[in-house]
Amino acid sequence: MYQELDALPKDLAEKTNLIAGFLSFFRKTLVITELEVRKLRHDPTELFTRAIQPALWMLVFGEVFSRVRAIPTGNFGYLDFMAPGILAQSVLFVAIFYGIGIIWERDLGIVHKFLASPVPRAALVLGKALSAGIRALSQGIIIYILSLLLGVHISFAPLSILGIILVIIISAALFSTLSLIIACIVKTRERFMGIGQVITMPLFFASNAIYPVAIMPDWLKVIAHINPLTYQVDALRSLMLIGGTSMYGLTFDISILIISLFILIVIGAKIYPNVAR
Amino acid sequence: MTNTILEAKNLTKKFGDIKAVDSISFAIDKGEVFGIVGPNGAGKTTTIKILTTLLPPTSGEAFAGGYNVVKFPSKVRRIIGYVPQLLSADGTLSGYENLLMFAKLYDIPKKEREKRISESLHFMGLEASADKLVKSYSGGMIRRLEIAQSVLHRPAILFLDEPTIGLDPVAREAVWEYVKVIAQHGTTVLMTTHYLEEADAMCSRIAIMIRGRIAAIDSPLNLKLSVGDKNISLNKVFESYIDKSIDSEESGNYKDVSRTRRTAKRLG
């Protein structure tokens, strides 16, 4: 039977201790991530349907452009050059439409209950972002398989693999939080889809994903340099390929990604409660 | 020393020029089941959203458990439970998982967790379907799960926004029974409804809300006596207040109607 309703639980989160607060924050974040991963486990079909687009890019675009040899890619063949770019792209595509789910949850009313709970807003946002990172890891596996089949020179050094996982999670978290922010502003699916399409193209093409920044006109170079995708691709390229090097330095790339993620989480936490209004 | 656990003082919320909630005041005692009734668009949900910290008021103050809801939202969130009008259980998780995730988010200690979850599954009669995905549940089961979820952390105040909307009469009465038991165990309940027989059956006091204002606030019996005698239905009371304050049909705007229909469709 229903018992001891009036016996309030020990208020664990009352701890004023900063470290305890920090731990509690991360625990809640991970619960939100767990929740999303459980959903995915009940219905993993989307992971497979998402394999189609990167496969088409590598097989059609990649194969054609590696024959044209129109793009200067240094010591690498075009497919080698492109594979990390397509990995970054598919992570971007998984993450950038994440906001649809936010709007869906808003229409259902799920968001309201989370926002009326004591879970910190930033933990809600970061937890969701990390789950987008885990979703995006499946893209990594698909690209690795495709790359192997196409003869891309992939590095399987354990540290490289770890680095790749880290970069995928951080960048998926980053772009999914950007998506969440957009969703919180536009609030309807139709408007969101429009904006999602509009920002995906420039993010992708104003980056070094499928051609080096060096061949861009100057104004586009500027955009490419403030585009986090550029640093994601740069990091992936240096980690994924045998003999791969980074243009900007791996530490710099990852720092840029983490700082961008942090800023977006702060904005996201601020704006997320708006969806319930 | 008062026994007030939830209080609104001149609470007002404007959306643009429209006053959704217009300077309402009330005080709810510990252990009460307090109902806000009124037509769609009367401001009931807006009031609940302010009290549950989801929406800042334009002016006025509200206190839950003594905490100002604007100044100390996280204190308030810890002592309240909330079942939104819309569907809030996650259809893509099982019933058990819905409860487990909230138990974790509310810091219920690991040892206590399983015990409380199985207790509430038992109490709500959901044991047999605990491992099924919630999207396979009936409307009544979903509402029961949502209520179970909202009281897992033993809140001092439970907010129910249209708890029986879209439910068939049997499922509706089941929900009433569960809420009554929860209230008997000391949880103060604030619920909104536009079913007057529901308010009559459940609430110790009722606020009749029309166009963002509270037209009357009293026990169901006193409300009836104020209009005629104790044997009339609450509907008559309601109609008399509606007549006093409304010159045209009042049933909410397009958005309210479409939202209500959508919720009803999902739950039904």
CA dist B186 and B189 (Å) reads: 9
Contacts of B108 (CB under 8 A, 6+ apart): A9, B116, B152, B153
Give per-residue pLDDT as tens, A165-179.
Answer: 999 999 999 999 999
CA dist A179 and A162 (Å) reads: 26
Cβ distance A8 to B156 less than 8 Å, yes or no, reads: yes
AA letter at A219: W
Q: What's the whole-number mean pLDDT along residues A178-201? A: 92
Q: Give the nearest partner residue to A5 out of B54, B186, B263, using CB atoms.
A: B186
Give per-residue pLDDT as tens, B4-61.
Answer: 999 999 999 999 888 999 999 999 999 999 999 988 888 999 999 999 999 999 999 9
Name the minimum distance, in Å, from the CA of B239 to any CA of chain A: 31
Residue with tokens 């496969």: A55
| CA distances to B100, B107, B251 from B130, in Å | 11, 21, 38
Cβ distance A116 to B80 less than 8 Å, yes or no, reads: yes
| b/e A92-107 (16+ beta carbons within 10 angstroms → b) | bbbbbbbbebbbebbb
Per-residue pLDDT at B113 = 94
Residue ranges covered by each domain of chain A:
26-36+45-65+75-276
pLDDT band, residue A16 (cuts 50/70/90):
low
Per-residue pLDDT at B255 = 65
A-interface mutation test, from B13, B105, B180, B263, most A Cβ less than 10 A away? B105
Within a 10 A sphere around the Cβ of A3, how many other Cβ atoms?
12
Cβ A88 vs Cβ A232: under 8 Å = yes
pLDDT band, residue B148 (cuts 50/70/90):
very high
pLDDT value at B115 more than 90: yes
Name the minimum distance, in Å, from the CA of B222 to any CA of chain A: 30
| CA distances to A154, A266, B137 from B133, in Å | 41, 33, 7
Rounded to 5°, angle at Cα B89 from A92 and B95:
105
CA dist B71 and B57 (Å) reads: 12
pLDDT value at A1 more than 80: no
Give per-residue pLDDT as tens, A80-90.
Answer: 999 999 999 99
Q: What does the mean pLDDT of chain B come to? A: 88
ipTM: 0.86
pLDDT value at A193 more than 70: yes
pLDDT value at B249 more than 60: no
Q: Which of A194, A155, A160, A177 is nearest to A228 (CA)?
A: A177
Cβ distance A118 to B77 less than 8 Å, yes or no, reads: yes
Element (H, E) at A236: helix A228-240
pLDDT value at B152 more than 80: yes
CA dist B268 and B141 (Å) reads: 11
Residue with tokens 């080096």: A212
Within a 10 A sphere around the Cβ of A212, how many other Cβ atoms?
14
Q: What's the whole-number mean pLDDT along residues A107-133? A: 93
Cβ distance B112 to A2 less than 8 Å, yes or no, reads: no
Contacts of A42 in chain B (CB under 8 A): 92-94, 133
Q: Which of A10-14, B25-29, B198-202, B258-262 has the lowest mean pLDDT?
A: A10-14
- Nearest chain A alpha carbon to B90: A110
Per-residue pLDDT at B253 = 64
Residue with tokens 């429009």: A194
Contacts of A38 in chain B (CB under 8 A): 93, 97, 101
pLDDT band, residue B263 (cuts 50/70/90):
low
Phi-psi region of B162 (alpha: psi -120 to 50; beta: other; left: phi over 0): left
Chain A contacts to B (CB-CB under 8 A): 1-13, 24, 27-28, 31-32, 34-35, 38-39, 42-43, 107-110, 112-120, 273, 276-277
CA dist A247 and A237 (Å) reads: 9
Domains of chain B and any CATH numbers: 4-267 (3.40.50.300)
pLDDT value at B267 more than 80: no
pLDDT value at A266 more than 50: yes
pLDDT value at B165 more than 90: no
Q: Which of A74, A3, A111, A66 is nearest to B181 (CA)?
A: A3
Per-residue pLDDT at B261 = 66
Show the 3-state SS of chain B. CCCEEEEEEEEEEEECCEEEEEEEEEEEECCCEEEEECCCCCCHHHHHHHHCCCCCCCEEEEEECCEECCCCHHHHHHHEEEECCCCCCCCCCEHHHHHHHHHHHCCCCHHHHHHHHHHHHHHCCCHHHCCCEHHHCCHHHHHHHHHHHHHCCCCCEEEEECCCCCCCHHHHHHHHHHHHHHHHCCCEEEEEECCHHHHHHHCCEEEEEECCEEEEEECHHHHHHHHCCCCCCHHHHHHHHHHHHCCCCCCCCHHHHHHHHHHHHHHC
Backbone angles phi, psi at B194, to 5 degrees: -115, 10
Q: Give the nearest partner residue to B105 out of A1, A117, A277, using CB atoms.
A: A117
Give per-residue pLDDT as tens, A220-239.
Answer: 999 999 999 999 999 999 99
pLDDT value at B232 more than 60: yes
Cβ distance A116 to B105 less than 8 Å, yes or no, reads: no
Cβ distance B101 to A3 less than 8 Å, yes or no, reads: no
Q: Give the nearest partner residue to A7 out of B88, B92, B154, using CB atoms.
A: B154
Cβ B53 vs Cβ A116: under 8 Å = yes
Residue with tokens 């989480």: A265
